[in-house]
């Protein structure tokens, strides 16, 4: 009884860690998504873009997000979200690092379209993971907690991106965003992989104990058969 209670406590702590990881990953997702918007003024001035060009770049990302969010919901039924969630961060990180290398609106729109593919994975995978690591009682609370990442990142991103742009330039601001996003995706991917290995080892130990207990029961039954001759008579007479 005590062992079961302790095991439940350990599982609760493990699930809370995972929920916090999802929360932090979602903050980085939203930060990356909004990191370009405060930089458009400098981008327009440097490349002599129009407001329509800026809207075209933003729309490319939004269209990609809309399509992939639906497809991401389907993918979560076939692929582990513990892989898809950080994989989306890796995609958004790489494409953000590519963005400053562009020279024209078509390049920017194409890269930001690819960026939207990664962002399309964030919502369905985050929801699936939150549900996976929550009970029926705690799911709503945990999901509300994860969703506060949108507000937090929404408040921080404009100020942070403007600060970086003013002091380091818009390209460096995007390089920092891309590097942070990619590194976060890599860390989360490793984290979920390690957690999976730990859970596998725990299940293996439980299975080994179960097998050992089963073997002991079988041995006890065998000993009964050998050392209790009256049982032989019962079995023979059946």
Quick one: 124 and 45 in the same domain? yes
Count CB neighbours of 64 within 10 A.
19
pLDDT (tens digit per residue) in 83-130:
999 999 999 999 999 999 998 999 999 999 999 999 999 999 999 999
| Structural domain containing residue 208 | 202-236
Taking the chain (238 residues) in runs of 10, the rounded mean pLDDT of each run is 47 81 96 93 90 93 92 88 95 96 93 95 92 90 93 92 93 96 96 70 47 47 48 41
Same domain, 86 and 116: yes
Please indicate, yes or no, whether residues 166 and 217 belong to a single structural domain of this protein: no
Residue 5 is assigned to a structural domain of this protein: no
Structural domain includes residue 10: no
Question: Domain check: are 34 and 150 in the same one?
Answer: yes
Q: Do 156 and 45 lie in a common domain? A: yes
What local confidence, expressed as pLDDT, does residue 232 receive? Answer: 43
Task: Tell whether 90 is covered by a domain.
Answer: yes
CATH classification of the domain holding 95: 1.20.1250.20
Structure tokens at 227: 């050392």
The neighbour count for residue 136, using CB atoms within 10 Å, is: 7
Count how many domains the chain has.
2
Residue 38 CB neighbours (<10 A): 19
Does residue 210 share a domain with residue 231? yes
Which long-range contacts link 3-11 to residues 24+ away (Cβ below 8 Å)? none
Query: Residue 170: which of 31, 37, 43, 33 has the closest Cα?
Result: 43
Q: Are residues 26 and 144 in the same domain?
A: yes
Q: Is residue 119 part of a domain?
A: yes
- Whether residues 187 and 220 share a domain: the answer is no
Both 24 and 87 in one domain: the answer is yes
> Which pLDDT score, from 0 to 100, does residue 212 have?
52
pLDDT in the model for residue 203:
47
Question: What gap in Å lies between CA 147 and CA 131, rounded to an integer?
Answer: 13
Q: Residues 40, 54: contact at Cβ < 8 Å?
A: yes
180 in the same domain as 161: yes
Q: Are residues 98 and 211 in the same domain?
A: no
- For residues 58 and 161, state if they share a domain: yes
- Tokens found for residue 190: 């490793």
Taking only the tens place, the pLDDT of each residue in 34-47 is 999 999 989 989 99
């Amino acid at each position: 009884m005590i062992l079961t209670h302790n095991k439940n406590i350990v599982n609760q702590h493990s699930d809370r860690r995972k929920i916090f990881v999802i929360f932090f990953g979602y903050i980085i997702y939203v930060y990356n998504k909004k990191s370009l918007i405060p930089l458009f003024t400098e981008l327009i001035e440097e490349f002599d873009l129009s407001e329509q060009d800026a809207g075209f770049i933003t729309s490319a990302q939004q269209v990609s997000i809309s399509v992939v969010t639906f497809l991401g919901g389907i993918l979560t039924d076939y692929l582990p979200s513990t892989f898809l969630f950080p994989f989306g961060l890796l995609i958004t990180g790489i494409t953000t690092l590519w963005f400053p290398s562009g020279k024209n609106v078509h390049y920017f729109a194409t890269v930001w379209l690819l960026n939207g593919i990664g962002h399309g994975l964030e919502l369905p995978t985050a929801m699936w993971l939150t549900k996976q690591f929550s009970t029926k009682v705690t799911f709503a609370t945990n999901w509300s907690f994860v969703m506060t990442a949108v507000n937090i990142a929404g408040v921080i991103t404009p100020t942070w991106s403007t600060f970086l742009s003013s002091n380091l330039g818009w390209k460096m601001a995007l390089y920092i965003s891309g590097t942070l996003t990619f590194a976060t995706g890599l860390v989360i991917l490793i984290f979920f992989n390690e957690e999976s290995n730990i859970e596998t080892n725990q299940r293996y130990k439980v299975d080994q104990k179960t097998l050992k207990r089963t073997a002991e029961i079988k041995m006890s039954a065998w000993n009964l058969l050998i050392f209790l001759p009256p049982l032989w008579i019962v079995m023979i007479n059946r």
